[in-house]
Structure 1
């Protein structure tokens, strides 16, 4: 079927060409006969036939034009060049007009054909521009519309006849989202610009378009027109705005749930931006523009220096800040805030901070309650330890009391003599005073361990701490038949901490060691040493000769409620771990190669603790 149609088309084309060539030749012969009848010169006759050839060239391709040019040249030769009615040429100069006719005919028909091709291409391009869904229009240097496609008619509502000749910005009432001068500067520099514009349609509704401008140049390279294509993105922008509003709503809800507000701060101008949650945290009017004075009005008097130091650092070279401070409200309420921010460059190169302010009052109150609970638990642990040491303490207190009684009885005997021996009496009274002071010191240590006062950090000499604990646990060691060995370095630096809590840790470790060694027969040794490590930390080590710690229990040793004893609660070592971590140190347990275990307490020196704080 396709072959038949192809053959039919070729036959039809050849039939058209034959009719064109025959008809054209007849027309040229007729024009030559007319010119000959009117006795026109060869130049005039050539011009007349050239007109016929140009008209015929509009009907077909270059081949037909060449054929007609040849026919016209032959007619000029036969009818207008002597000898007449012959192809011979007597005079050589007669060849010139025939050649000129042939060349002119070819040149003019080629030019006409090129113009026709160019027009056809322009019509095709215009038809394609009319078929596109994007609006396309062209405006000259005065912004007057010279072309307006079908999509522009459909979008804006004005027909091509109504739009052409109008100034585009007047017709569409263009709203520029960036300055018009800036757009023109970019267009002149790059020859291209794209961005969003707002156009007003014929019915008065607004259309947001993604616009692309391309500068057109003439043959001299001078700008002569601007091609503008627009794509209607109104629905897309409306959807994006809806998403943005939804995201903003979700963000506001999330900030309210997490008690976290956001803020922006321009260093140069001092301008502040607060989110709705930030206003809620400071309990300020959302309609009131926040300032640094707004913050100062709410600052707790004791935290003003924190805020002012942050302002000074932020105004300098600091790129981040992370602070905590309190707010004090007129009714006496206090809020704890955690503020973090990061520096960035604003428009114009000015520094600004973008950050978050979090209301951590609940967390701080929980931490306070936790510390109180831990303090009570630690006190209960100390009371429990003292209960286990009760026999030892009674023994330690009983010794000076027995010495006091003995000295008192001796003092009475020396007084009843006549004359009284005052030197002996004085010696007895001195002994009684010494032993009383010794008993009072033991009682005072027990009272310190018993009380539930909050921790008080102060410089603590580690060796003195060991001596005090040894005095309290001496009787317990004797009851367990344990030999105590002390290796205390004389140059051990002081640590910063709570003496009572550190005593509790050391007592707990010693009691655990005594109880562990009680499960194995033989002589028991307990070594307490003090030293410093390579980082200048103080290391207190308690080494026992018990059975050691099983590999399965070693990782869980400091977990709460973990115990290997049937009567223990499993809180002693967990509390010890919490106390040491609160002091910035760590507590470690390991097995000795020759048997037994070693508990090491590592504490930073007082200078390191102050530097860290």
Structure 2
């Protein structure tokens, strides 16, 4: 009957997930359940009779002998041990030893329950290492890092969705108070040392525990909105350039990044990275200023080359004004003045005066140093005006012009003077390239077509001597020129203007090796640009 009881007890112990080991007072194993077999790799028959610490090895923070003495005095011990299984794999074990005595107090058995915690310990060690690395990077990198508790904003978004709002961006753009409230619910959990220096804080307490609202100027609110939208759309990160405020309220230019990991998203925590790009922005502004100065110098240089053309253009309306004025005086000197004829002549004088003013205004616009002004432009109108502006020079060089302009072109958004500068520069280069050709070969071709998407492409071709093979790769480099007296800046400026407008300019040798072709490609105006400037397509009266 006792044997049946022991068998029944063994079956019950085999149902327990923890390893249960019973050993006698001498340390020999007398009970070894199924979980012990699975944990340590030794079968019950192999383990019975073995001394436990000899079979598995036992090391702990304290000597095992001290642990056994403590067990004899207290009757109970709990802690961690390091053991090896049958294959020699080292494992961390969480164990509980309990001493059983007989009625006279003599030790009978030591009952152990234990479980393998190796995986948990490895996970904890990896987590500590990850945290250590993260903290080192967090503090050591030359990037201002912010840990933000975003859970309050998450609650606001869930409330919006519950109310049926589907377009978070539109809602926040329309309700700026909602946006500012979201900022006040974005609380700063931690920042690194770089944040303190970049944002002018003496201590962490000036930033940590507060909200991000004080650091966001009104003009940068759309960036905060996009970060919220990125979170709602579960994007892994969002990066852009913006302006933020320091502790003292000064504006700084920064590269702003926000990222979420799956774990941090569950906790409602986001990581912000802020990089100071003020020096870069100032350098870019200085470079753009230099480019603007060079572009202005190039425009004035072109005007200088075409002094005769300008004089010719202005002389025509001035001569017409003089002629019409003299005719008007003669009609007034007649015995019976013809008032209607004088009125007609006066209207012509006014028209010619306006015509002369427009010519002078166009020349001044090319020479003036002013910031770019983006308007909607008709590319074909710019081409026609450019050819009209160069009419005298084209005629004096006996150059035949062929213009094939598409009729389905979308308007472009850009600075009229700068785009026309590109066209004038390319046409002038073509005129100069054909100066030594026989008259019958001097042909200039201009084409405008609709390119990929809503882009517009303008190609200017000449039949001059072209350029050497492989030179097209260097034509747009600063100070590279194929002209004996050239500065090598004209095409470089043209490319800078094209790129500033989101376009490109490319050169190629014409088929047959005679002449060169330059293609300017510019994006068509977007829907937003068209809506922002309705009716502003530049279609100036032709001179």
Same fold flag (TM > 0.5): yes
Residue of structure 2 in register with 1:98 after alignment? none
Cα deviation, 1:204-248, whole Å, max 9, x if unaligned, reads: xxxxxx94347999xxxxx941479999xxxxx99x999997995
- Distance in 2 between the 1:591 and 1:296 partners? 57
Pair 1:459–1:291, CA change in 2 (3 A): farther
Residue of structure 1 in register with 2:267 after alignment? 350
Return the offset for 1:392.
Answer: 1.0
Match for residue 135 of structure 1 among 29, 46, 59? 59
User: Which structure has the bigger radius of gyration?
Assistant: 1
| Mapped contact 1:560–1:570 kept (Cα < 8 A) | yes
SS at match of 1:135: coil
Return the offset for 1:598.
Answer: 1.5
5 Å matches for 1:54-453?
A: 122=50, 135=59, 152-153=62-63, 159=66, 162-167=69-74, 211-213=92-94, 224-226=111-113, 252-255=139-142, 260-268=143-151, 270-271=186-187, 272-284=189-201, 286-288=203-205, 290=207, 294-315=211-232, 317-329=234-246, 333-346=250-263, 349-453=266-370
Pair 1:590–1:292, CA change in 2 (3 A): farther
SS at match of 1:566: coil
The answer to which of 486-495 and 281-290 deviates more is: 281-290
Q: Does 1:599 align with 2:518?
A: yes
Which structure is richer in relative contact order (CA contacts within 8 A, separation 6 or more)?
A: 2
The answer to which of 455-464 and 348-357 deviates more is: 348-357
**TM-score of the pair, normalised by structure 1:** 0.61
Residue of structure 2 in register with 1:486 after alignment? 403
Cα deviation, 1:244-275, whole Å, max 9, x if unaligned, reads: 979956763432xxxx1123334325553322
Residue of structure 1 in register with 2:43 after alignment? none
Pair 1:215–1:126, CA change in 2 (3 A): closer
Give 1 or 2: higher helix fraction: 1
SS at match of 1:551: coil
Cα deviation, 1:411-465, whole Å, max 9, x if unaligned, reads: 3333333233434433433332222222111101011111111111110011211
Aligned residues: 427
Match for residue 560 of structure 1 among 478, 487, 498? 478
SS at match of 1:593: coil
- Distance in 1 between the 2:209 and 2:235 partners? 18
Q: Does 1:526 align with 2:450?
A: no
- Distance in 2 between the 1:566 and 1:314 partners? 59
Structure 1: tracts of 5 or more residues without a match: 1-117, 137-150, 177-182, 184-193, 196-209, 218-222, 232-236
SS at match of 2:483: coil
Residue of structure 2 in register with 1:198 after alignment? none
- Distance in 2 between the 1:295 and 1:540 partners? 49
- Distance in 2 between the 1:247 and 1:135 partners? 33
Return the offset for 1:546.
Answer: 1.2
- Distance in 2 between the 1:493 and 1:244 partners? 55
- Distance in 1 between the 2:524 and 2:47 partners? 95
| Mapped contact 1:135–1:229 kept (Cα < 8 A) | no
Return the offset for 1:568.
Answer: 1.2
SS at match of 1:561: coil
Q: CA RMSD in A?
A: 4.1
The answer to which of 339-348 and 551-560 deviates more is: 339-348
| Mapped contact 1:345–1:352 kept (Cα < 8 A) | no
- Distance in 2 between the 1:507 and 1:166 partners? 103
SS at match of 2:327: helix
| Mapped contact 1:536–1:605 kept (Cα < 8 A) | yes
SS at match of 2:151: coil
Cα deviation, 1:266-319, whole Å, max 9, x if unaligned, reads: 432555332222233333454328579632112222222432442354245343
- Distance in 1 between the 2:361 and 2:409 partners? 26
Match for residue 490 of structure 2 among 559, 572, 593? 572
**TM-score of the pair, normalised by structure 2:** 0.68
